[in-house]
Amino acid sequence: MLDLRKFIDIVLDASQIISGRFGMGRMPAGTSGQVLTAQGAGNDPIYAAAASYVEIASNDLRNSNDTDKYTTSLTIVKIKETKLNAALAAARIKFDLNAGVAGGIAYARIYKNGVAIGALSSVTGTTPSTFSEDFSGFVIDDLIQVYGYMNDVASNACHVLNFRFYYTGVITKIAYRTLTSSLLVSDDPTISMTNQDP
């Protein structure tokens, strides 16, 4: 009598399971968040990111550190600080600056981890002026700061307020294909930041 179990029940040992069914080559395990591309050779396919997401500087407000802080120092000191709790590819950073009295002159500039990265800005008088610059390449735990000082004792104080971060998330690549125009992401997450002025 023909034993049909020989054709129905096929038992694979561990080596066959690891290498692939019936000993055939098996594709390597993929990576979370990536897709299989048509590249590669033989049993070596290539996996690529399903999409490349990045932040770009824009006019979309994402974090506000608005409290008016000031210094009466005649030498440059830290006035405001925001800590990045995640990497941030790029952002437009703005702040308002004014002196404590009419005719006084206040100076300020943006720093990263205690090192100047922005242009030195100045304003005369008590009416705040807004300064804006675009930056890129921030990493987790970076401290983004505004340092400032006043011109002389008569200037009374250097005031900095409305320290803000603006950016938008975009998709620049799908799998291994680069997009001609980036796609705006409508629900891109806001990078966590901690405002921690001195």
Are residue 42 and residue 69 in the same domain, yes or no? no
H helices present in the chain, as ranges? 5-8, 14-19
Q: Which structure tokens are listed for 164?
A: 């803000």
Per-residue pLDDT at 57: 95
Cross-strand partners of 91:
135
3-state secondary structure at position 58: strand
Residue with tokens 């308002």: 96
Domain extent at residue 26: 12-49
Residue 37 and residue 133 share a domain: no
**Domain assignment of residue 108, yes or no:** yes
pTM: 0.74
Residue 1 belongs to a domain:
no
Per the structure block, which two tokens stand in for 5?
């179990």
Look at residue 180 and tell me if it is in a domain.
no
What torsion do the CA atoms of 60, 57, 63, 198 make, to the nearest 10 degrees? -150
CB 105 within 8 A of CB 99: yes
pLDDT in tens, the chain (198 residues): 555 455 445 555 555 444 544 555 555 555 555 555 555 555 556 665 556 778 999 999 999 999 999 999 999 999 999 999 999 999 999 999 999 999 999 999 999 999 999 999 999 999 999 999 999 999 999 999 999 999 999 999 999 999 999 999 888 777 667 777 767 766 667 899 999 999
Question: Is 103 found in the same domain as 27?
Answer: no
User: What is the C-alpha separation between 94 and 192, in angstroms, rounded?
Assistant: 18
